[in-house]
Amino acid sequence: MPPSDPDEIVVLDDVRKKFGDAEVLKGISLVARRNETTVIIGGSGAGKTTLLRIIVALEKPTSGKVFIDGEDITPLGERALNRVRKKFGMVYQYAALLDSFTVLDNVAFPLVEHTSLPRKEIRERVVEKLRLLGLDPDVEKKFPSELSGGMRKRVGLARALMLEPPILIYDEPTSGLDPLTSRLVDDLIEEMRERFGVTSIVISHDIASCFRIAHQALLVIRGQIVARGTPEQLAHGDSELARDFIQKSGVSYDVIPPPKRR
Ligand SMILES: Nc1ncnc2c1ncn2[C@@H]1O[C@H](COP(=O)(O)OP(=O)(O)OP(=O)(O)O)[C@@H](O)[C@H]1O
Ligand SMILES: [Mg+2]
């Protein structure tokens, strides 16, 4: 059944994924709501990246349904899937910028790939996005190696935003960053939501980040969602698995300042 609520922008219904004999996702059902941030937490090898790849239509589930913006994408062919993929902006771990390309060429990449806009127009749009993200337009000439970690994240975000996707997907956005820069990235994710109305789906090992930004947190263990709810419900709710997972992370819910949105 397709979702009846148009705010249910990403809906998974009993999604399973097998690689050979190994079932990596064992019946995942979830709803991500428009203009909210959903954070997926869980240990290594739990199936988080596989789940993301299914959501962004890079991988097909073995069974189950995936609704994006109300449309069941599981029966679609390559051509229709390409249309669906454009609804997503991906922000990769370590920003995944191309080292031999300038910032301008990195950020321009989606427009060069997916549009036939003239070079001048593309450059204007890049400069506009860099400015929106608080980067000096001068950075356009720089190479990724000349930027700080936080600046690289902003450039990665600028690139993910170029096609103005309604949904932003982040795979481990704060890993490898110092705590201060990680908090800046949290603010940036929240800012994207406030200013552009995007829906965010974030995979994270960073429990402090999850507490700050999540409207909804999902705990995945061995291919199943074992707990879901607000961060507070995970930290202090009925699920022993969730309380345990959070306790082992060493981060206490009670010492995290409430997010800006509250
Ligand atoms: N293309 C593939 N072919 C075979 N097995 C795969 C494939 N992709 C993932 N797997 C397996 O699926 C399981 C889950 O992998 P996945 O990358 O989704 O985990 P993860 O939760 O993202 O882990 P991490 O936190 O380490 O990134 C692993 O056992 C992995 O070896
Ligand atoms: Mg992963």
One-letter-per-residue 3-state SS of 45-99: CCCHHHHHHHHCCCCCCCEEEEEECCEECCCCCHHHHHHHHCCEEEECHHHHCCC
Give the pLDDT mean for 188-214.
91
- Cβ within 8 Å of residue 41, ≥6 positions away: 203, 204, 205, 207, 210, 217, 218, 219, 220, 245
205 alpha carbon, closest ligand: 1
Judged against a pLDDT cut of 80, whether residue 1 lies above it is answered with no
Mutate to test the pocket of ligand 1, among 49, 175, 201 (most ligand atoms within 8 A of CB): 49
Residue 262 has pLDDT above 60, yes or no: no
User: pTM for this one?
Assistant: 0.89
Per-residue pLDDT of 39-93, as tens digits, reads: 999 988 999 999 999 999 999 999 999 999 999 999 999 999 999 998 998 887 6
Distance CA 242, CA 240 (A): 5
Structural domains present in the chain? 33-45+77-217+224-255 (3.40.50.300)
- How high is the mean pLDDT of the chain? 90
Cβ atoms of 161 and 190 within 8 Å: the answer is no
Q: What is the pLDDT at residue 261?
A: 43
Distance 47 CA to ligand 2 centre (A): 7
Asked if pLDDT for residue 215 goes beyond 90, the answer is yes
Q: Cα–Cα distance between 76 and 66 in angstroms, integer? A: 11
Position 57 scores a pLDDT of 95
The residue behind tokens 């979702």 is 3
